[in-house]
Amino acid sequence: MTLNILFVSSEITPFAKTGGLGDVGSALPRALSSLGHKVTAVLPRYGSIPKKALENTHRQITVALGGESITAGIFKGALDDKTDVLFIDQPELFGNRPNPYGDDKGDYPDNDRRFIFFNRAVIELAKSLSNAPDILHCNDWQCGLAPLYLKLERERGNLQKTASVFTIHNLAYQGHFPKKSFRLTGLPKSFLKMNGGVLHHGKLAALKSGILFAGAVTTVSPTYARETILPELGFGLEGFLEKRGGSFCGILNGIDTDEWNPEKDPLIPQNYSAKNLAGKAACRKELLKRFELEDNLARPVIGMVSRLIEQKGFDIIEAAADDLLKLDFSLVVLGAGQKEYETFLRKLAKEHPGRVGAEIGYDNALSHLVEAGADIFLMPSRFEPCGLNQMYSLRYGTPPIVRATGGLNDTVTDWNPATGEGNGFVFEKPSPDEMLEAVDRAVATFGKQDEWRKIIRNGMNADLSWQASAREYTALYHSLL
* Sites of contact with ligand ADP (CB under 6 A): 19-20, 23, 305-307, 334-336, 362-364, 367, 386-389
Closest residue by beta carbon to ligand ADP: 20
Least CB distance to ligand ADP at residue 19 (A): 3
Distance of closest approach, residue 265 Cβ to ligand ADP, in angstroms: 13
CB of 221 to ligand ADP, least distance (A): 10
Q: How many CA atoms lie less than 13 Å away from 204 in the CB half-sphere?
A: 21
Least distance from ligand ADP to the Cβ atom of residue 371, Å: 8
Minimum separation from the CB atom of position 335 to ligand ADP (A): 5
Collapsing DSSP to helix, strand or coil, 6 comes out as: strand
Residue 258 vs 295, nearer CB to ligand ADP: 258
Q: Which is nearer to ligand ADP, 19 or 91 (CB)?
A: 19
Coil vs helix vs strand at 10: coil
Instruction: Give the residue among 354, 314, 362 at the shortest CA–CA distance from 332.
Output: 354
Nearest to 210 by CA among 149, 159, 132: 149
**Distance of closest approach, residue 372 Cβ to ligand ADP, in angstroms:** 12
Annotate 400-444 with DSSP letters as a single string: EEEESSHHHHHH--B-BTTTTB-SBEEE-SSSHHHHHHHHHHHHH
Q: Is 439 exposed, middle or buried (0-12, 13-18, 19+ CB in 10 A)?
A: buried
CB of residue 361 to ligand ADP, shortest distance in Å: 6
Using CA atoms, how far apart are residues 348 and 190, in angstroms rounded to an integer? 54
Nearer to ligand ADP, 19 or 236 (CB): 19
Cβ 282 to ligand ADP shortest distance, Å? 21
DSSP 12: B
Closest CB to ligand ADP among residues 215, 385: 385
Which residue from 28, 39, 146 is spatially nearest to 83, judged by alpha carbons? 39
Helix-then-strand count for the chain, H and E: 17, 20
Rank residues 158 and 362 by Cβ distance to ligand ADP and give the closer one: 362
Q: Which residues of 154-170 are buried (b: 16+ CB within 10 A; e: fewer)?
A: eeeeebeebbbbbbbbb
Q: By C-alpha distance, which of 192, 425, 180 is closest to 302? A: 425
Based on its alpha-carbon atoms, the radius of gyration of the chain, rounded to whole angstroms, reads: 23
